[in-house]
Amino acid sequence: MKKILLPFTVALAASVSPAAAQVTITCLTNAGHLTRQHEPLMKKFNEMQDEIVVEYAAPAKDYADTHLRLFRESATNTLPDCAFQAYNQLPSLVRALKERNQIVDLGTLLEKEGAEWVKANYTDRMLELGQVDGVQVGMPFNASVVQWYYNADLLKKAGHDPDKFPTDWNGILELAARIDALSDDVHGMSYAVEQWGDDWPWQILITQQGGTLLDEGQTKVTFDQNGYATKAMELVRRLVTEGMYDPAVTINDQLKSFTNGTMGIYANSPASARNIEELVGDKFDLRSVKFTIVDDANGTLPTGGNAVLITTTDPEKVAAAWEYAKFMSGPEAQAITARNTGYLPTNVGALGENYLAPYYREFPYYATPSTGYDRAGRWQGYPGTQSEKIWREQKNILRSVMLGETTPADGAAKMKQVAEELMQR
């Protein structure tokens, strides 16, 4: 294979002796992303040039495990050279690493690339996903805002035009009820906020109204302002009473029901698009559409996914890791990732004719994320190390509201109480 000499590698080769010209960097990601995403891209990067070798450490189990692992490795000065971590986990992690001078300010590296290069590759909103306290500490790699998946065949059976998916919650809940009424074996919809592994779907219910989880300093709970939390809880209850959502069905069985053709409407990340399509096969007409926004002027959707951080202070490894970060967030890698998973490309160049534009025209099912740039907002995380515990307790509150055991107003108050009591620990 022909080798391409990256601009960095020219400078690197000139600055060190031939015996030391090759720089090896080690990166960390989680197990769910390693095989399908990182390994093919790592191989491609290693083959396209000779001066940098990228390796991956044994993967973390998930984002929470990545978080704990990086904290431990920070304490023992055994951090990898770069790490991919979830946007909502960045503030507490980055602030801790900055105290020990263990994370690189990427803003200075972006400045060296030039304003035109930055503009050609990234929107301000995408770059903001990797910022903490106004500093660019990560380059966006994966990005996803929630979307609706639906069974067009069941919509037809329920008497609804599948080309006109409802654009508000009233229409969605009404349609879900009609689908649910088709048969005892058919479920109307899934929005498994009370079973999700993190608070992403809860934040969606707040930010779609124009609210935020926390203030800008991320020290004060704000999701209760303007009645946002109470309205979110009212909708949570309506999922059951009007949309016929069944919280007794496990989140895994909800996915099975949808992909087997016995559920009409299903909410999930575009990162699941490829997997869902593979599970559905030719069972039914599978489609996707943008998620619902309550406040068109101010509503956003929290962006899931992760950014690549540089966590080495060795100058040569910093330079090498920066080349890898640019590649991973560049148009080619982002186009490959979008095809392999369904993630929203974080690089605007990836949407062009040389990459994804023809693909999206041919397969509109995969194009839905590309229409969500204007809605991509921050997925915030609590300070401290108790985010998992906060969410475990909040899920119980959500379930109680769903089942009618707790009123929406009381549920909203309890959600705030749990967050405020635990977030400072």
Instruction: State the DSSP string of 228-239.
Output: HHHHHHHHHHHH
Half-sphere exposure of 14 (CA within 13 A, CB side): 7
77 exposed, middle or buried (CB, 10 Å; 0-12, 13-18, 19+)? Answer: exposed
Residues 210 and 296 sit within 8 Å (Cβ to Cβ): no
| Alpha carbon distance 29, 41 (integer Å) | 13
Domain contains 318:
yes
CA separation for the pair 299, 294 (Å, rounded): 7
- Claim to verify: residue 273 and residue 327 sit in the same structural domain: no
Q: Determine if the pTM surpasses 0.85.
A: yes
Q: What is the DSSP letter of 36?
A: I
CA 221 to chain centre: 22
Residues of the domain holding 167: 147-302+382-422
- Counts of helices then strands in the chain (DSSP H, E): 19, 13
User: What CATH code is carried by the domain that includes residue 348?
Assistant: 3.40.190.10
For the chain, helix, strand, coil in percent to 5 are 50, 15, 35
**Residue 390 and residue 202 in contact, taking contact as beta carbons nearer than 8 Å:** no
Q: How many domains does the structure of the chain reveal? A: 2
Residues 140, 151 within the same domain:
no
Taking Cα atoms as reference points, which of 290, 238, 285 lies closest to residue 264? Answer: 285
pLDDT of the chain along its 425 residues, tens only?
333 334 343 344 433 334 457 999 999 999 989 998 999 999 999 999 999 999 999 999 999 899 999 999 999 999 999 999 999 999 989 999 999 999 999 999 999 999 999 999 999 999 999 999 999 999 999 999 999 999 999 999 999 999 999 999 999 999 999 999 999 999 999 999 999 999 999 999 999 999 999 998 888 999 999 999 999 999 999 999 999 999 999 999 999 999 999 999 999 999 999 999 999 999 999 999 999 999 999 999 999 999 999 999 999 999 999 999 999 999 999 999 999 999 999 999 999 999 999 999 999 999 999 988 889 999 998 887 788 899 999 999 999 999 999 999 999 999 999 999 999 87
Four-CA torsion 105, 107, 113, 119, nearest 10 degrees: 140
Q: Is residue 101 part of a domain?
A: yes
Rg of the chain over Cα atoms, rounded to whole angstroms, equals 22
Short-list 269, 295, 273, CA closest to 286: 273
**2 assigned to some structural domain:** no
30 & 111 share domain: yes
Q: Are residues 77 and 171 in the same domain?
A: no
Residue 17 and residue 165 in one domain = no
For residue 27, what is the DSSP state?
Answer: E
Residue type, 189: M
